[in-house]
Structure 1
Amino acid sequence: MNFKIATLMGCILTALCTQSAMAADSSLNISGNVVASPCTVDAASKNLSINLGDVQASTLAAANVGSPWVDGTINLTNCPSTTSQVTATFTGTADTNAAFAYKNTGAGSSQASIHIMNKDLSADLKNGATLTQAVTSGAAALPFKARMYTSKGGVTPGVVSAAISVNFTYK
């Protein structure tokens, strides 16, 4: 009987020692993030061109003035039912004279820039700005307004344009 107890005690001690020898030197934390599925950018909105029209140089002769506002809309379609919101982030080269506007990359006067705002003209959609809209019935429309602008005046004739990228995140 003593032999059985001694053997049992030996097994228990071996198990305890083995367990101590198997202590972890590191731990793993594994995680992920479930994100909302994206919508489809409507074909007409993929490479959207907003024509600001012909603006008289005299309209932009004074400092801190702009041309009339022109409406634009980026349309998203085929939004999954699990996607409830879209946020658009605008990026481009800021104008050195007016940080809320985009630098003119056209052949026109360097005194001119492109100014974009949300539809009610309460927020500039400058470089890094966001515009958020609810997704309803599988679609979202992101309306905005654009115009030519000058902070210094003295704009001379020529093409005024800017390239602006819009990236979307979904909720």
Structure 2
Amino acid sequence: MQNDPLDVRCSDCGKAAQFFEPFRFTCVVRLPDVPEHSHVWGRVVVEELFPEQFKWHQPDCKKPKFLQPGETGEGYRLNERGMVWCKACKTFEAKTISWPEDAYWQWTVKGHKLVARNRDHAEQILGFLQESQRAPNRKPALRGIPTPLLTRRLQDEVSSKVEYALANA
């Protein structure tokens, strides 16, 4: 499971800040010992990364289930509650975010929204968009690009918006 931080807009200064999930989820098979501040949820070890701010409360579901933004039901909702750290204004606080609305790296082209998890993801997207021969089977990180934004007709507009954002962040 991905544990890289998301880039969100800092509510204090407006610059890029990092959002960290409050828990690390690891398959129980991969851990010889359960770390301190950890709980077992089915076949998943849940480690509390910020135990002072966030305590683990097991969702009411039989098996571990991770809910994506907008998804309903029982399970753990990813990318909602966590710690936000802004290097620019030195803010480090517990926050609730609304993903992808709070994403720092986002662009709208011809009514289609493109969102990147963080700067590295934005650079991956840009590299993929600029390839002359794109692989038909995209990496999971590149599957969320709206199909219309992959057309040659919009390639220059999308690429220039992403390039501009990366150069001016």
TM-score (norm 2): 0.21
Structure with the bigger RCO (C-alpha within 8 Å, sep 6+) is 1
Normalized per residue, which structure has more helix? 2
TM-score (norm 1): 0.21
**Which has the larger Rg?**
1
